[in-house]
Amino acid sequence: MSTAEPPPVLVHRHRAARAAQLTRSRHSLARSLELVVERTQPGYTSAEIPPRREQVRYAVPEIIAISHRLRTAEPVDARGVAMLRAVLSDDGGPCYIRSHPAALTVRLQEVTRRLRVGTSERSARLVSCVLSAWGKCGMLWHGTNWTSQAGVGGE
């Protein structure tokens, strides 16, 4: 006996329901991300595993950017949302286990790339490589333009 695939209408409804569920959870996910920062403040006590203060402090710019993105009406890719949930809930990950100070930042940069709708993993890696190469050449990205690092390129 073979199993028939569900009618396209049911598949579409399921996807629409899942998208609505993700949309509803965006604000609570943004709040969870902000709580990670709050839980590293002196005097904060909780029975939960505390996030690694140094790693979270290092990642604050990424945390703010992701939180802001989740609170806007811009569409987000479900893979990025799933990846962020994993980062926040993995008590063995860079948010909770001592590792390199930039480990959480790097992981959240991956989340940021995955949140972009229509950005393939390959093109995200390409952008990352280009940005890395420019940084090694003495160029830094400052929001809207490239600038030379002090002491590099004749400055």
Does residue 112 have a pLDDT over 80?
A: yes
Residue 120 DSSP class: -
CA distance 13 to 150: 55
Confidence of residue 149 (pLDDT cuts 50, 70, 90): very low
Residue 82, pLDDT > 70, answer yes
pLDDT of 26: 87
Cα-flanking dihedrals φ and ψ of residue 107, to 5°? -65, -40
Q: Which of 35, 133, 15 is nearest to 89 (CA)?
A: 35
pLDDT of residue 44: 86
Predicted confidence band at 73 (pLDDT cuts at 50, 70, 90)? Answer: confident
Task: Note the pLDDT tens digit of each residue in 127-148.
Answer: 455 445 544 444 444 444 445 5
Is residue 119's pLDDT more than 80?
Answer: no
CB 98 within 8 A of CB 140: no
Query: Which H or E run includes 77?
Result: none
* pLDDT surpasses 50 at 79: yes
Please give the mean pLDDT across all residues of the chain. 77
- Chain-centroid distance of CA 101 in Å reads 16
| CA pair distance 106, 6, nearest whole angstrom | 40
